[in-house]
Amino acid sequence: MNNIVSIAVKEIKHDFRDRRTLLFMLAFPIVLMLILGLALTNAFSSNVKLGEMKVLVKDTSHGGPLADAFTSFTAELKKSDIHFETIKKGVNGLEEIRQNRYDGYMELTDSGISLYGNNQSAIEGNVIEGMLKAFTDKYNAVSAVAKVEPAKVSQLFVPSASANGSYIKETSVNANRQPGSMDYYAVAMSVMIGLWGAMSAGRLIRSEIVQGTAPRLVATPVRRSELFAGKVLGSIVQNFLCVLIVVLFSKFAFGAYWGEHLGIALLILLSEVVMSVSLGLGVSYLFKGKASTGILLLFVQLASFFGGAYFPVSVSGTDMANYIVLASPIRWANHALTELIYGQSSVFSAAWPAISLNLGLAVLLLAVSAVFMRRKEGL
Amino acid sequence: MNVLDIRGLTKKFGNFIAVDNISLSIREGEIFGFLGANGAGKSTTINMIASLLRPSSGEILILDRDIAKQSRFAKMNLGMVPQDLAIYEDMTSYENVSFFAGLYGLRGTELKDRTEEALQFVGLADKAKSYPRDFSGGMKRRLNIACALAHKPKLIIMDEPTVGIDPQSRNYILNSVRKLNEDGCTIIYTSHYMEEVEEICSRIAIVDHGKIIAEGTKEQLTATITDMKDIRIEVKSLTDVPADQLRLIPGVRTVRLDEMEPVIRIHSDAAVDNLNRILKELIASGAEIRSVEEQEPNLETVFLTLTGRNLRD
């Protein structure tokens, strides 16, 4: 056990002293997260910013409860940046709408209110229509009550109660929290560097051969299984530490949201790192020399691209592209983390499939590596 | 007592026989020279002793124990100084020695003391916190040796430990080898520098085409050569020496120009009287001769006679 720890510590020291590794594993994802997170903010936002809204009003009524209530209504909406202007003599309200000078045009008569919307500003028109509907519903309710119990009318039309919020009912297709761009890229980059562990693991054995230290290591009384275990352990710890640093940096420096179950999220990432290290090691035993580095590089880049590391990728239908997306380890982890962080599934059902898939593959790949290692002379 | 016994050792790579039925014994306290040209089977033999390669057949015993059956015991008593530097450039000298010593089971104060002792032995105690990437070639070679010493092995294999270093570091290493031997360590030493082997080895084996073709002390080996002579000619400069012309003279086997001194070394058949012809060629080419000496055969002569080529070919 001591030998395994010694070898693992050596691996960790080696990687953390290598400036290129640090730049690659820490600085690059953090900078990429910052750039993509800031550049694509709008692409992830579900809010629509509305400016000042102007409504032209033509009042031909002769006073009365409806006119009074409408005056109160317009005064309240002014607080929400919806301004009502009384039409001047000789001005055609409909023409003003056509010219896009107002977002709506209302005609108030003794018999009721007519609203003309502006097709060129549909969202604003819908907002005005929705609020006017809320007003008329309330007015109708008051009228109905007045016919039965006139004394209770005042309780229904308390001005403070009709403050701006009471005319606006918030409805949403998905009321749950949705990831912003920084939230998305915090997860995506952390998952991506988790997979990058495959590349450093692919060099675990070859680096000893290239450095010339392989003969000395084999000449020591350390069993090859210990050497293997130490290297795997060291690589897992080193890669997971990098992932952890990126996660914590994104959380505390960029304010990325990691949900209520950070421990489980880290467990998903740890399982991904274990799988990645096993993948790198397995490929390095299956393919000799630089071929393994090339294969791993290609795999990691494709998996990153199709797995949603650089932009969100959705799965629909059954075509080949979807199979490729679903085969990306980045997609598994990304999907599991999104489900976990945004509460779209229970903690168990969000995390367990990805963790078990990662660990299952890791066991398989490590077993393949171990078989090849036993057959080989030297390292 | 034998520190190493090799019996019928063979290694095949496919149809190629790299080591062919070698048997050898090395006694405690010896510095055993292992000579062979590139591809002779010397490194393959050493790699099998160090458990880097598995023998196709035969057995290797270290301190009377079969390394195939008691691998851990054998490795605990073996130190390996590989020909290529086997050190981590991004770990300090201390960390390098300590890491490898730790793999031999040393811990705590013992590990610290042995690490410091090994660094002291190779003259790198003051560089304990320095990184090998900042070292000269000689310092790296010394650190390479220190990494094999800290666990105090009974047998050390040194494969070309002085290759590519300056004369000062080379002398330091050779003195270290002698000192290790005085301290009771048995050493297997390989080198392309025949003078080194002559200088420090108590017994020598010459390997060619996977077989040991000669074995014994320097005196025993040179005594077997009676039909060769060595001619040493010191000149002012080597620029005018017609080496190709000299090689055409009857009886001349090899001509080597040693730029360090500068000296011409000629191996020739003892039966052919060709010294006058050699000198005439040199004078005709304008070479300024300072001294001429006919020497007794040395190891190089032995090697050449037995293998038909120079060690450095």
Are A147 and A211 members of one domain?
no
Phi (first) and psi of residue A134, to 5 degrees: -60, -40
CB contact under 8 A, B100 and A215: no
Phi (first) and psi of residue B5, to 5 degrees: -130, 125
* Chain B partners within 8 Å of A10 (Cβ): 88, 91, 99
Are A137 and A282 members of one domain?
no
* Chain B partners within 8 Å of A21 (Cβ): none
Q: How confident is the model at residue A165, as a pLDDT?
A: 46
Structural domain ending residue among the three candidates A143, A167, A191: A167
Report residue B159 CA to chain centroid gap: 6
Which of B54, B75, B147 faces A377 most closely, judged by CB atoms? B54
Say whether residue B50 is in contact with chain A using an 8 A CB cutoff.
yes
CA atoms within 13 A on the CB side of A227: 25
Say whether residue A221 is in contact with chain B using an 8 A CB cutoff.
yes
* Chain A partners within 8 Å of B54 (Cβ): 377
What confidence tens digit (pLDDT) does each residue in A237-286 have?
999 999 999 999 999 999 899 988 999 999 999 999 999 999 999 999 88
Among chain B residues, the shortest Cα distance to A15 is held by B90
Q: How confident is the model at residue A161, as a pLDDT?
A: 43
CB contact under 8 A, B85 and A212: yes
Q: What residues make up the domain containing A334?
A: 2-44+178-375
Q: How confident is the model at residue B32, as a pLDDT?
A: 96
Q: Is B245 helix (H, G, I), strand (E, B) or coil?
A: helix
Question: Average pLDDT of chain A?
Answer: 83
Instruction: From A135, A128, A114, A98, select the one nearest A59 (Cα to Cα).
Output: A114
Task: State the nearest Cα–Cα gap between B50 and chain A, in angstroms.
Answer: 6
Higher pLDDT, A192 or A49: A192
For residue A325, give the amino acid letter.
V
CB contact under 8 A, B99 and A218: no
Contact by Cβ (8 Å): B241, B252:
no
Task: State the nearest Cα–Cα gap between A374 and chain B, in angstroms.
Answer: 12
Q: What is the 3-state secondary structure (H, E, C) of chain A?
A: CHHHHHHHHHHHHHHHHCHHHHHHHHHHHHHHHHHHHHHCHHHHCCCCCCCCEEEEEEECCCCCHHHHHHHHHHHHHHCCCEEEEECCCCCCHHHHHHCCCCCEEEEEECCEEEEEECHHHHHHHHHHHHHHHHHHHHHHHHHHHHHHCHHHHHHHCCHHHHCHHHHCCCCCCCCCCCCCHHHHHHHHHHHHHHHHHHHHHHCHHHHHHHHCCHHHHHHCCCCHHHHHHHHHHHHHHHHHHHHHHHHHHHHHCCCCCCCCCHHHHHHHHHHHHHHHHHHHHHHHHHCCCHHHHHHHHHHHHHHHHHHCCCCCCCCCCCCHHHHHHHHCHHHHHHHHHHHHHCCCCCHHHHHHHHHHHHHHHHHHHHHHHHHHHHHCCCC
Contact by Cβ (8 Å): A38, A84:
no
CB contact under 8 A, B89 and A216: no
Q: Is B22 helix (H, G, I), strand (E, B) or coil?
A: strand
Higher pLDDT, A230 or B227: A230
Say whether residue A225 is in contact with chain B using an 8 A CB cutoff.
no
* Chain A partners within 8 Å of B72 (Cβ): 221
CB contact under 8 A, A221 and B75: yes
Q: Look up residue B300 and give its two tokens.
A: 């190089």
Say whether residue B103 is in contact with chain A using an 8 A CB cutoff.
yes
Q: How far apart are CA B243 and CA B232, in angstroms?
A: 14
Are A280 and A215 members of one domain?
yes
Residue A173 has pLDDT above 60, yes or no: no
Residue A234 falls inside a structural domain: yes
Are A137 and A249 members of one domain?
no
Residue A173 falls inside a structural domain: no
Are A100 and A30 members of one domain?
no
Residue B11 has pLDDT above 90, yes or no: yes
Residue A318 has pLDDT above 50, yes or no: yes
Highest mean pLDDT (candidates A38-47, A288-297, B97-106, B193-202)? B97-106
Are A226 and A341 members of one domain?
yes
Q: What is the mean pLDDT of residues A144-152?
A: 69
**Pairing relation of β-strands B78-81 and B155-159?**
parallel
What confidence tens digit (pLDDT) does each residue in A44-72 have?
766 666 678 888 888 888 777 777 778 88
CB contact under 8 A, B100 and A216: yes
Task: State the nearest Cα–Cα gap between B199 and chain A, in angstroms.
Answer: 27
Q: How far apart are CA A232 and CA A169, in angstroms?
A: 56
Q: Look up residue A183 and give its two tokens.
A: 């939230």
**Pairing relation of β-strands B2-13 and B57-62?**
antiparallel
What confidence tens digit (pLDDT) does each residue in A328-346 have?
899 989 989 988 998 777 8
* Chain B partners within 8 Å of A378 (Cβ): 52-53
Identify the residue whose tokens are 């680096």.
Answer: A207
CB contact under 8 A, A211 and B51: no
Among chain B residues, the shortest Cα distance to A230 is held by B103
Instruction: From A78, A224, A285, select the one nearest B71 (Cα to Cα).
Output: A224
Total number of domains constituting chain A: 2
Are A143 and A192 members of one domain?
no
Among chain A residues, the shortest Cα distance to B156 is held by A219
Residue A359 has pLDDT above 90, yes or no: yes
Are A80 and A130 members of one domain?
yes
Residue A172 falls inside a structural domain: no
Among chain A residues, the shortest Cα distance to B99 is held by A6
Count the Cβ atoms, other than its own, within 10 Å of residue B56: 14
Are A287 and A352 members of one domain?
yes
Phi-psi region of A53 (alpha: psi -120 to 50; beta: other; left: phi over 0): beta
Are A132 and A227 members of one domain?
no
| Dihedral sign computed on CA atoms, order B127, B131, B136, B141 | positive
CB contact under 8 A, A216 and B102: no
**Residue ranges of the alpha helices (H) in A220-261?**
224-252
Higher pLDDT, B253 or B29: B29
Residue A151 has pLDDT above 70, yes or no: no
Q: How far apart are CA A166 and CA A152, in angstroms?
A: 19
Say whether residue B72 is in contact with chain A using an 8 A CB cutoff.
yes
* Chain A partners within 8 Å of B82 (Cβ): 212, 215-216
Say whether residue A3 is in contact with chain B using an 8 A CB cutoff.
yes
CB contact under 8 A, A377 and B86: no
Q: How far apart are CA B146 and CA B153, in angstroms?
A: 12
Q: Look up residue B34 and give its two tokens.
A: 């292992």
Residue A353 falls inside a structural domain: yes
Higher pLDDT, A372 or A318: A372
Q: How confident is the model at residue B9, as a pLDDT?
A: 96
Q: Is A378 exposed, middle or buried (0-12, 13-18, 19+ CB in 10 A)?
A: middle
Which of B82, B84, B103 faces A220 most closely, judged by CB atoms? B103
Residue A184 falls inside a structural domain: yes
Are A206 and A338 members of one domain?
yes
Mention every residue, 6+ apart, whose C-beta is less than 8 A from residue B59. Answer: B6, B7, B8, B9, B66, B68
Contact by Cβ (8 Å): B163, B192:
yes
Which of B54, B90, B107 faces A17 most closely, judged by CB atoms? B90
Structural domain ending residue among the three candidates A141, A167, A193: A167
Are A110 and A22 members of one domain?
no
Q: Look up residue B170 and give its two tokens.
A: 């080379």
Q: Which residues pair with B24 in a beta bridge?
A: B6
Residue B262 preceded by cis peptide, ω within 30: yes
Residue A158: CATH number of its domain? 3.40.1710
CB contact under 8 A, B90 and A212: no
Domains of chain B: 2-222 (3.40.50.300), 226-296 (3.30.70.100)
Among chain A residues, the shortest Cα distance to B55 is held by A377
Contact by Cβ (8 Å): A200, A18:
no
For residue A55, give the amino acid letter.
V
CB contact under 8 A, B102 and A213: no
Which of A13, A211, A215 faces B50 most closely, judged by CB atoms? A215
Count the Cβ atoms, other than its own, within 10 Å of residue A134: 16
Residue A148 has pLDDT above 80, yes or no: no
Task: State the nearest Cα–Cα gap between A237 and chain B, in angstroms.
Answer: 19
Report residue B94 CA to chain centroid gap: 27
